[in-house]
Amino acid sequence: MKVTGLRLQHLCMRFCMLWLLVWAGAAQAAATTPVPKVQVPGKSSKPAKAVPPPKPVLAPPAGNLVIIGGGLRTENAEVWQRIVQLAGGKGARIGVFGSASINPENAAQATVNKLNQYGAQAFAIPLGVTWPNSDYRKAAEDPEVIAMIHSATGIYFTGGDQARISRALVRPDGTHTAALDAVWDVYRDGGVIAGSSAGAAIMSTTMFYDAKSTLDMLKQGVNDGHEISAGLGFIGDDVFVDQHLLVRGRFARMIPVMLKKGYQIGLGIDENTAMVVNAKRDVEIIGYSGALLLDLSAAITDRGIKGFNISNATISYLDRGDKFNLVTREFTPSPDKADNKLDPNQPDTREPVYTNDILGNNAVLDLMVNLIDNAQQEAIGIAFGNPRDFNPELGFEFRFSKTINSVGYSSTEVEAYSVLKLRLDIRPIQLQQPLYRYR
């Protein structure tokens, strides 16, 4: 059959339309058919997670901390006046939490009276687990209580049981109550946060909770939810704080906690004494006594030794008037010691230094002071318990050594010393039982 030019043109047009329809259908099918996922051996495919919104960036606190080791006496004007001064001076509004006490109303009012003696206009904040005729959970979210806190330029936490403070200010799920957020607002805006004893324990992110004796913690260790729990963290997450340090010989219990939780720096403040920490993280010691500074940044433990042990820890004693920066690690002696650095080539004594009760009242300070101005290069302290205690044959040797970095300063006004950077090694020892026999 003969195909004319017109007929050929029609056939070509139909063929083109048919091809376009087939191509469009294939494209639509490809668009609606799911593309098979490529499986990587050993891995399961998971849907992509939604990216959470960024958290708000909070400015670092502009305020100050006054961390008191407990037993603050009314006549210790230096500490009380500093709290009032940092809160704004005469007439400063300081809100007092008695939450740690079994009788929080009375405890708060007693501290209010002391602060007012030094020029403040302090007031009690009605919030505590055992506050009479009050539901502390509701009080921690009460707008009137929150307004009271926000009206303050300073906050003071009294002594007692630090677990009661965290229970009153932290929700069961671990989040901040409105009251705790308000306390942080005061601190961030330049206010002072002060606390004594239990009020000092809450300053770090970890605090002692239901603590055993220091010796028992060395023997048995520490566990979250038992010996330790979460603190409120005002000083930051890189410094561990403890209190009643020298009087109760607590320096040794800080070390297992610091190792467990990863702290390199620990500060232990003595009774009737305070550490003032400013926004630049300068620490100043004021009051009656001083503080111990533990540095575990170069410390190691030997897993081959059965029982608690540590080597190459660094221990220092900061006396009243001394300063230390937590960022630069620089030490500044008090003015009365600045020009009286001890000469290691002219030691005051040459007698061996030893104590059989290193955990006793002020024993560690006495040993450190006796060693730093001595021809001896090391000192030994022993810790052991009652023969009727758990595992009575287990004790510990504390070996303090001078290194090329060890430095001492002596006051020109009173008998007082600052001791820097002694090496501390602790290892378990086996004691003979019985420890003694009658002649």
Kindly tell me the burial class for residue 287, based on how many C-beta atoms sit within 10 Å of its own C-beta (0-12, 13-18, 19 or more): buried
Pick from 298, 290, 305, 317: nearest CA to 409: 317
pLDDT of residue 56: 59
Greater model confidence, 165 or 53: 165
What single string gives the DSSP state of each residue in 237-279?
A: TTEEEEESTTTTT-HHHHHHHHHHHT-SEEEEEPTTEEEEE-T
pLDDT of residue 31: 43
Query: At a CB cut-off of 8 Å and minimum separation 6, what does 313 contact?
Result: 255, 294, 295, 296, 299, 423, 424, 425, 426
Map residue 208 onto helix, strand or coil: strand
- Please report, for the chain, the start and end positions of each structural domain, with discontinuous segments joined by +: 64-337, 353-430
pLDDT of residue 273: 98
Angle at 244 between CA 239 and CA 250, to 5 degrees: 70
Which of 197-201, 319-323, 433-437 has the lowest average pLDDT? 433-437
Asked if 296 and 275 touch (Cβ cutoff 8 Å), the reply is no
pLDDT tens digits, 223-232 = 999 999 999 9
What pTM was computed for the model?
0.86
pLDDT tens digits, 30-46 = 444 444 444 444 444 44
Beta bridge partners of 64: 192
Chain-centre distance for alpha carbon 366:
26
Interaxial angle between packed helices 162-169 and 178-188, expressed in degrees from 0 to 180 and rounded to the nearest 10: 100
pLDDT of residue 44: 43
pLDDT of residue 57: 58
pLDDT tens digits, 267-308 = 999 999 999 999 999 999 999 999 999 999 999 999 999 999
Pick the CATH number of 64-337 from 3.40.50.720, 3.90.1200.10, 1.25.40.10, 3.40.50.880: 3.40.50.880
pLDDT value at 23 more than 60 = no
pLDDT of residue 415: 92
Mean pLDDT, residues 128-137: 94
Confidence band, pLDDT 50/70/90 cuts, at residue 387: confident
pLDDT of residue 55: 52
pLDDT value at 1 more than 60 = no
pLDDT tens digits, 153-162 = 999 999 999 9
Map residue 70 onto helix, strand or coil: coil
pLDDT value at 69 more than 60 = yes
pLDDT of residue 156: 98
For residue 24 the two structure tokens come to 């469009």
Please state whether 212 falls in left (phi above 0), alpha (psi between -120 and 50) or beta: beta
Share of the chain above pLDDT 70, in %: 87
Greater model confidence, 342 or 54: 342
